[in-house]
Amino acid sequence: MALDPKAAEYLSRGYCQETLEPRECEYLLTFGDKSPVARLAVSLADRLNHHMCSETGQIMATIDVSTGPCYRDCSFCRWGESRSHDVFKDIEEDILLRYVEELGGFSDVKSICLNTCGDMSVDRLADYVYTVKKNARKGTQVFVDTGELSKEDCITLKDAGLYGAIHSYRIGEGTDTGIKSEERKETIRNLVSAGIAVTTGVGPIGPDHMPKDIVKTFFETVDLRCCRSMVYPREPVPGTKFNQFGRMSPARMAQIRAVFTLATSRYNPPVREPAQGTFVNGNNIAMAEYNGNDRKEQLYSARRRLFNNGYERILKVDGSTTNLTLAYLRQTGSV
């Protein structure tokens, strides 16, 4: 049986780097995640991603530098102050330095993202950025994933050595989150105007979200001159109103990610780098949560994911690449 003709046309256009309209993305998401349309979307997006990053994957390590209950109290988040029993804690500098040194071992962790929760002072965060930038391998890009920032805050972080920031625009911003939609976008604009490379995103996506909501949220940020975008699921958190819905299936997430990858295949990011890939993060960017006792296993797993997903090379901190082979996995202790 032939593929739905309208869907086939949209998929072909996305693959040929023609922009897709929101209503066309919505149409593609009316097909189930096991349908031929979904399978083709995933395959085309994956091929495009492999091509656009020249078969090169990269690793981003994330370090929690500040944890604790968050006064924004978003209704899906485990850190929201109405349900979190965590205490406020900032990472100690000697631990941060140890992590940074470990991550530099094979010069293949291209970026380190410092995560914060709650109401961390920008000056304190700038100190962390400076420490990581000064001690990490030359060429390591330092990112932050933090709260809302003014223009001045962004300049302070940039001066401390910040390269990029993760700042997504969430589904239900202003209703399911404690942050107004415009405030969220204003932070993205402030980051971009300070010359900081922004990875935006759409999420957290749950099985209860309709294609219309997901598409609308994604398109809110595509004109804000961000460099990349993430599409991510919502984790079920006991005690939240969303827990009953569970987690979106990996197949449906892959389909949503694929449709947005094709929809923005024409996008030209403001910062071009080696191994940039598609605007929507594909499997070429492997995240490693570098916290606590299993941190090294997270890094090994990130290398294995890149290998398992067929990337032939891995990006080094200096912008060069090395072959991602079984021998390399062995050499780095990843198998």
Q: What residue ranges bind ligand SF4 (CB under 6 A)? A: 70, 72-74, 77, 79-80, 117, 177
280: which DSSP letter?
A: B
Minimum CB distance to ligand SF4 smaller for 35 or for 75: 75
* Pairing assessment for the beta strands 321-323 and 313-315 based on DSSP bridges: antiparallel
Minimum CB distance to ligand SF4 smaller for 83 or for 158: 83
Cβ-based neighbours of 41, under 8 Å, separated by 6 or more? 11, 28, 255, 258, 259, 262
Kindly compute the dihedral angle of the four CA atoms of residues 218, 219, 220, 223, in this order, to the nearest 10 degrees: 120
CB of 168 to ligand SF4, least distance (A): 10
Minimum CB distance to ligand SF4 smaller for 74 or for 165: 74
CB of 172 to ligand SF4, least distance (A): 11
C-alpha–C-alpha distance, residues 142 and 212, integer Å: 34
Minimum CB distance to ligand SF4 smaller for 88 or for 327: 88
Minimum CB distance to ligand SF4 smaller for 72 or for 225: 72
CB of 75 to ligand SF4, least distance (A): 9
Cβ-based neighbours of 261, under 8 Å, separated by 6 or more? 14, 45, 48, 49, 278, 279, 280, 282
Task: Tell me the chain's radius of gyration from C-alpha atoms.
Answer: 20
CB of 223 to ligand SF4, least distance (A): 23
Positive or negative, the CA dihedral 132, 64, 57, 301 is positive
CB of 12 to ligand SF4, least distance (A): 37
